[in-house]
Amino acid sequence: MANKHGLKGSIVKKQAASRKMAKNKKSAMAVFTGNENAQTRKNTSFKQRRHYYENKQNFPKKKLNNKDPNYLMEIGLIDDRGFFVKWKKKNFFTKSMTDAKWLDFYWMPRAK
């Protein structure tokens, strides 16, 4: 035993490193660790929870920054009829699955 608490030196170094890393991130992690239930927190490692939280923070939001139709057409998000190209086949102008002429994304008529 190299020290009074009986742990190996490598483990003590890892504990110190993790304390140092977590020192400034406690307030950031408080939201994450507070929103999950205790059982999940006990069954998941700190490393997995940290990676999940970091990925969640870095994932781009789906909210549109600019809702100007001309701008959305320029960047290729909606086509000339107003349908979203990448996401759900929904019309930006009518807020439904059809355009003003009651045609869907594939130019097929839909019921009103």
What pLDDT score does 35 carry?
Answer: 60
pLDDT at 24: 59
**109/59: higher pLDDT:** 109
> Quick one: pLDDT at residue 1?
46
Global pTM reads: 0.44
For the chain, the helix, strand and coil percentages under 3-state DSSP, each to the nearest 5:
45, 5, 50
Instruction: Answer yes or no: are the C-beta atoms of 48 and 32 closer than 8 Å.
Output: no
Q: Residue 102 and residue 90: Cα distance in Å, rounded? A: 12
Give pLDDT, residue 79: 92
Span 77-106, pLDDT tens digits: 899 999 988 878 899 999 999 988 889 988
| Residue scoring higher pLDDT (6 or 51) | 51
Name residue 58's amino acid: N
Position 18 pLDDT exceeds 80: no
- Residue 27 DSSP SS3: helix
How far is the C-alpha of 46 from the C-alpha of 96, rounded, in Å? 43
| Model confidence pLDDT, tens digit, residues 23-38 | 655 554 554 555 667 7
